[in-house]
Structure 1
Amino acid sequence: MTKFSHEFRLKLVMEVEEGMPLGTVARNHNVGKRALHTWVYNYRSGGVEQLTAVRRRYTQEFKLSAIEYRRANDVSYAQAATDLGIPNEGTLYDWEKRYSEQGPVGLQDARRGRPPKMLKKENKRKKPMTREEELETENNRLRMENAYLKKLNALVAEREKSGKKTK
C-alpha cells in the first residue's frame, strides 16, 4: 500500500495547478516538496494516470533498453522515466547502478521478501536391515549408553566426595 492515496495526490496537484506555491502546499499537508514536485511533474507529463501508484514488473530487456535510451539520448533520469512511463526516476537510477556494478545479470528479477521455508525432504524408505546389521546397531547404542552411565556415576561420586570434604 502507498503512503498517500491517489485522491490525496490529485488534490495536492490541483492546488499547485491552481496557482498555490508548491512549498506552501507541501507544508500545509505535511508532504515533502520533492515528492509533491514529482507528482506535479508526472501529472503534467502523463495526466492523472501517472499519479496512480501501481507496482509494475519490468523485464530485463525493458530495463536494458531504458538504460540505453537514457544514455543514447543524453537525458536526465526524470525525463527518461517520463518518456518510458516509469513512475519514479529513482527506479531507473537503481537499474543503471546495478547494471554498471553487476552487468546484465544485475537487471534480472530478484525475488523479494522472505525466502520460502525449507522444503521437507522426501521420506526415503530405508531398505530393511539384515539381522546382523540390527544387532550391530543395537550393540553400538548399548555401548554409548554404557559409556554415558559410567561418566554419570563418576561425576556423582566426585560430587559426593567433594561435598563431604567441604563440610
Structure 2
Amino acid sequence: MTKYNQAFKQQVVDFYFTNHESLSITRKHFNLPPETVRQWIVQFKHSGSSGLAVRHHKQTYSPEFKFNVVQSVLLGQFSGRGAALHFGLSSSKMISQWLKLFEKQGINGLLSKSKGRQTMKPKYPKMPPKPKNRLEELELENLRLRAENDFLKKLDEIIKREDRKRQKPSKP
C-alpha cells in the first residue's frame, strides 16, 4: 500500500503552485523530503492529475517493455527520470534495477522471475507431527530410540577407531 493517496499529492502540488513554486516552503509545510515533492511536481507537469494516481496493485512488465526502457536510457534518449515519466513508471529506481540486471546478465536479467522470496529448503527433515493417540506416541518414541541407538553405535565406532590409532605402535 502506498504512503500517500492521490488527493494528498494533488494538495501538495496545488500548494506548491499557489506559493510561488517554492519547493522549500512546500516541503516544510507538509514535512516531506524534497525529492518526493519534486517527483510529484514533475509527474503533474508531465501527465496532469493522472500522473499522481496511486496504483492499487503491483504492476508487472514484460521483458520486451523492460528492454525498450533500458535501450532508451542506454541510447541516451532519456535519463532514468525522463524514461520513468515517458513510460509511465512510478519511479526511476525500477529502471536503475533493470539497468543493473541488463549489464550483469543481458536480456536474461530482464526475464520475469518467480514472485516473492524463494523459500529456503530446510537442512534437516521436519519433526513428525504431535502424536494423536497412544499408538502414534509409542511409534514416535520407538523412532527416537532407534535414532539414538544409531547415533551411539556410530559414536562408539568413532571412539574405537581413535583408540586404535593411538595404540598403534609406530614402526622403528
The answer to whether the superposition gives a TM-score over 0.5 is yes
2:70 aligns to what? 67
Q: Which segments of 5 or more consecutive residues in structure 2 lack a partner in the other structure?
A: 122-145, 157-172
Q: Which of residues 79, 82, 85 in structure 1 aligns to 2:85? A: 82
Q: 1:7 to 1:69 in 2, by over 3 A?
A: same
Q: Distance in 2 between matches of 1:15 and 1:39?
A: 12
TM-score (norm 2): 0.63
**1:3 equivalent in alignment to 2:11:** no
Shift in Å, 1:63: 0.2
How many residues of Structure 1 are paired with residues of Structure 2 in the alignment?
124
Q: Distance in 1 between matches of 2:103 and 2:120?
A: 33
Cα deviation 1:104-125 (Å, max 9, x = unaligned)? 121122334344697xxxxxxx
Q: 1:114 to 1:97 in 2, by over 3 A?
A: closer
Q: Distance in 2 between matches of 1:61 and 1:29?
A: 39
Q: Distance in 2 between matches of 1:95 and 1:114?
A: 18
Q: Distance in 2 between matches of 1:90 and 1:116?
A: 26
Q: Distance in 1 between matches of 2:63 and 2:2?
A: 25
**1:39 equivalent in alignment to 2:29:** no
User: Please, what is the CA RMSD of the aligned residues?
Assistant: 2.4
Q: Which of residues 87, 105, 109 in structure 1 aligns to 2:108? A: 105
2:162 aligns to what? none
- Identity score, percent: 22
- Superposed counterparts of 1:12-161, under 5 Å: 12-18=12-18, 19-54=20-55, 55-115=58-118
Bigger Rg, which one: 1
Q: Which segments of 5 or more consecutive residues in structure 1 lack a partner in the other structure?
A: 119-140, 152-167
Shift in Å, 1:41: 0.1
TM-score (norm 1): 0.65
Q: Please tell me the residue identity of whatever aligns with 2:24.
A: G
